[in-house]
Each structure stands twice: as C-alpha cells, then as structure tokens.
Amino acid sequence: MKATLEVIKILASFLAGSIILTFLSFTQKTVAGYPHLILGYAIPALAGGVIGATLFILYRRAVLLTSRCPDDLHRVSYLEFTCSLLTGSVLLCLFSAIQKALAGYPMKAAGFTVPLIFGGISGAMIGIYLIRNRHLLIIQQQSAATLQQEKKRTDDIITSIGDGLLVTGNDGRVELVNPAAEELLGLSSEALIGQTLPAIIKQVSTEDHSDFFLPSKIGSCSHIRLITQDGSLRTVHARTAAVHNGQFCNGEVVLLLHDNTAEQRIDRMKSEFLSTATHNLKTPITAITGYSELLMSQQQLSPQEQQEFLGYIHDKAWQLNKLIDNLLDISRVESGREIRLEKEDVKAATVLEEIQNYCASQQTHCEFQYQFEQLDSLLYIDLSKISLALENLINNAIKFSPSGGLITLAGKKSASSYEIKITDEGIGMTDDECCRVFDRFYRADVSERAPQGFGLGLTLVKQLVEAHGGDIQVSSIPRQGTTVSFQLPIRDGVF
C-alpha cells in the first residue's frame, strides 16, 4: 500500500511538472507569436514531467536524510550553485532549440525566456540535491571507516585482555568470548557462544556455581576451580557485572575470569616456608637449650663430657647462624635486592673439599663421584655463598633420586671461568619444568609423595651464581636424570 502511494505521488509530480512547463511554454508562444502546434508542446511536457518527478524524489530523500546529517551537508558553494544553474538553463534551452527546429519555429530570443529561467531554477534545485547526496555519501563512507577502525580497536583491546571475558545477550546466552577465556576454560569460542554461563561453568567445574549467576548475585565475586584438559586444577577469580545502557540495565552480563592459580600456590608455599623455617630454627635452639641446661644442672660432669656438650652447643649455634643467613639471603632474593658478597681468592681444591665434606655428612643411597680438574685454579668467590649454592644443588640431586644412583660432581677450567657440573640419575624434568625451575616457590612435583620443600632453593642458587657474574643452566630428561652447570670467575681470567 505504501509503495503504491509513492508511485501515485511520483506520477502526480510528473503530471504537475508537465502542466507547469507546458503552461509556461504556452505563455511564451503567445508572447513571442509562435503558432500553437501539438508538436511544440511535446518536449515541454516531457521535460517538465521528468524534472517534476526528479525534484519530488530528491526532495523526499533530502527530507529523510537531512535530520541525520551534519550542518556541513546543507552548505553548497557558490561555484557549485552557479554550475548547477547554468547547466539546467543550457540543457533546457538546448531542448527548446531542438523542439523549435522540429516544429519549424523561428529562433527568437523571447522564445528562450521560459527554458532559460525554468531550466536554471530546476538545474539549481536538482544540483543542490545531488551535491548534498554526494556530500552525504562521503560522510557515510568516512563514518563507516571510522566505525570499522573503532570496532577493530575494540576487538584488539578485548583480544589483548589477559583475563577471560565472556559477554551474554539479554537472553542470557554468550555472544562474545576473548582468547583468554577460551584458554582458561579449555573450550573454543564456537563451543562457548550460544550457551548460558551456568551451563559453561558446569562443563569445566565439578562444583555447583548456579547460584552465583542468579540475577540477584550480579556484581558479586567467587572462586571457581576449573578442571583443565590434562586433569589438573586451576583456580580462577570470577566476577560478574551488568551491562548498563545509560542508567538502565539491558539484561546483558559480563563475566571476568582471572587466573590466580599461581598466586594461591605462592601463598600456600609461603605458609609452608614459614612452617619449615620455624621448624628448622626451633631444632638447633632446642638442642642449644637442652645441652646448656644440662651443663648448668650437672656439677659432676667429666671434662670430656663438658667438652662434648659444649661442642654440640657450638655446632648448633653455628648451624643456627647459617640458617638465619640463608633465610636472610632468601628474603633478599624474594624482595629483589642484591646479595652481599665477601669475595676472596679460593682454590678449586678448597671448593672440592667443601663438597666432599657435605656429601659425606648426607645419609643417602646415592653414590658420589668427583671429577674435578685443575685443582690449583684460583677462584675469586665468596666461599660461604658458593658452598650454600652447592649444598642446595646436591640436596636437590639427592631428593629427586629416590631410587639412589650415581651423582657426579665435576669441575673444569675454561678460558675465562671455572665450570662446575652436577649430574644425577633421578626422576628428571620436562622442558617446560626446566624453563620454570628457577621461579620463586615453583616445584615441579607438588603431589603428596613429592620431596618436601618450598621452591626457593634453586632461585637462591641462581641469584648467588649471577651475583658472582656467572650463569647457570639446567638440562634434564624425564626418568633419566638432570644436569646443572654453572660458571665461576677465576682470578687470572676476565669474566
């Protein structure tokens, strides 16, 4: 019905234009003294109809578009207006000349008055509408390009967000997913889009979190334990938020997922660290207190017994002092501060002797083999710190060799350093574990049967080696063993 009405209006505009131009042509012929022939009104009727219909169509388009266009769209330059005016006049005068030639009318100046005026006005009006349409097309293209750039920028921002992001429509079904959410949930965007949030979480978690997504709980937080594809658990901090359109909620919901597995693991390891450190501190203090009380309460102790008890107290006191130094070093490592070193010239033979004494004091099923060369090499190191690093490495080799085996300790001088290498035949590590083995509080095996520790030993070793200007490397093969090597500066070399 609407289309039919539009066609009727266009035909009416065509008829009105034809009548107006035909009437003007009739008036002109009367004034100029031209005979009134039917052929003389063919072009005025046709041209007037076409101009009338064109003006109506352009007017309707202008009415629809003007309200959405900026003010610049309504501006037409004087040059554009003049060109449109002259073009309309020239074209209608040309049609009038053709008509006069066909009808046999004489070419009088008065006979071109109406074509000149009507054609100029019509050309100007049509030109204005066409220029506005051209301006509108340019603005639309610019707006489309701007919108495309903004959309790309928004997509890039969403893609770059490290936290998982899911957005639902007002029907509660997911419409937008970023790559971080796909990685956290272990599902592709195709599998996530179209599902509800409770249904998605139900697939990846064994716990019931349906209450978390109730409308009354929108804006709250929760911790969700996710089951990854390899069967391990991942903890995420989930938060929902309602999408606001102005001051009103349109029913859409945003779900943010932040992976805090590492943070919780570090918190857990810090608690274990404090517990272990407290236990290790209490053990020598208990021994010192017990033997000192025994010396104070027993008056009839022989000199040999007194010397033995004092020796225990002395050893435990130095053990306690060493443990406190280690804790201070660990604290410096954790806070990012440099470790203080007291370097001196130390022979490689002295380092080997420290290693042998420590290995001899260990109760283990492992066998030790020493392959040190150039024992007279002079190292410029802090012996106590390097001894601490070696003790950590040897202790790790023992802990992760539950079935025993051979632990080889080798040393060799190179052009500018002295390299020490420790190789075991233990459980080994994967390439990914080797890459993370120096991270603070990282433990490759966190099962209940794993050796106890708090994941700071190798971090401390790395800091001690690097404080000496050296570098440390780890290579390992699962179920075959691990090799740790590092370099130390020598006095007669440039390091």
Q: What is the CA radius of gyration of the chain?
A: 46
Amino acid at 352: L
Q: Give the pLDDT confidence score for residue 421 in this predicted structure.
A: 92
Dihedrals phi, psi of 339, to nearest 5 degrees: -90, 130
Q: Which residues contact 113 (CB under 8 A, 6 or more apart)?
A: 28, 31
Distance, in Å, from the CA atom of 206 to the CA atom of 197, rounded to the nearest integer, reads: 15
At 26, which helix (H) or strand (E)? helix 2-32
Distance, in Å, from the CA atom of 36 to the CA atom of 22, rounded to the nearest integer, reads: 11
Amino acid at 272: E
Statement: 161-259 belongs to CATH 3.30.450.20: yes
CATH class of 344-489: alpha beta
Domain ranges for the chain: 2-155, 161-259, 264-335, 344-489
- pLDDT truncated to tens, each residue of the chain (495 aa)? 666 776 676 666 666 666 666 666 666 666 556 666 665 666 666 665 666 666 666 666 655 555 555 554 445 455 555 665 556 556 656 666 665 566 566 666 555 566 666 556 566 566 666 666 777 777 778 888 888 888 888 777 878 888 888 888 888 888 888 888 888 888 888 888 888 888 888 888 878 888 888 888 888 888 888 887 767 788 888 888 888 776 667 778 888 888 887 777 777 767 766 776 677 677 778 888 887 887 787 777 778 877 887 888 887 787 777 777 766 766 666 666 667 788 889 888 998 998 888 888 888 888 888 999 888 888 888 888 888 888 888 888 888 887 878 889 999 988 788 999 999 888 888 887 878 777 766 655 544 444 444 456 787 888 888 888 888 888 888 888 899 999 888 875 444
Distance, in Å, from the CA atom of 277 to the CA atom of 279, rounded to the nearest integer, reads: 5
Residue 378 CB: number of other CB atoms within 10 A? 14
Distance, in Å, from the CA atom of 118 to the CA atom of 24, rounded to the nearest integer, reads: 9
Q: Give the pLDDT confidence score for residue 174 in this predicted structure.
A: 87
Pairing of strands 366-372, 405-413: parallel
Largest CA distance in the chain: 158
Q: Give the pLDDT confidence score for residue 446 in this predicted structure.
A: 45
Q: Give the pLDDT confidence score for residue 79 in this predicted structure.
A: 59
Percent helix, strand and coil across the chain, each to the nearest 5: 60, 20, 25
Amino acid at 214: L
Asked if 200 contacts 174 with a C-beta cutoff of 8 angstroms, the reply is yes
Residue 451 CB: number of other CB atoms within 10 A? 13
**CA neighbours closer than 13 Å in the CB half-sphere of residue 3:** 0
Separation in Å, CA 411 to CA 92, 306, 375, 408, 466: 104, 42, 9, 10, 18
Dihedral over Cα of 133, 138, 141, 146: its sign? negative
Angle at 65 between CA 60 and CA 70, to 5 degrees: 145
Q: Give the pLDDT confidence score for residue 450 in this predicted structure.
A: 45
Distance, in Å, from the CA atom of 171 to the CA atom of 280, rounded to the nearest integer, reads: 59
Separation in Å, CA 320 to CA 162, 291, 312, 355, 362: 44, 15, 12, 20, 18
Domain boundaries 264-335, corresponding CATH code = 1.10.287.130
Q: Give the pLDDT confidence score for residue 13 in this predicted structure.
A: 63
**pTM here?**
0.46
Pairing of strands 405-413, 417-423: antiparallel
Please return the burial class of 45, using the count of CB atoms within 10 Å of its CB with bins 0-12, 13-18 and 19+.
middle
Name the CA dihedral angle for 156, 162, 168, 172, rounded to a multiple of 10 degrees.
170
Separation in Å, CA 331 to CA 323, 455, 475: 12, 13, 27
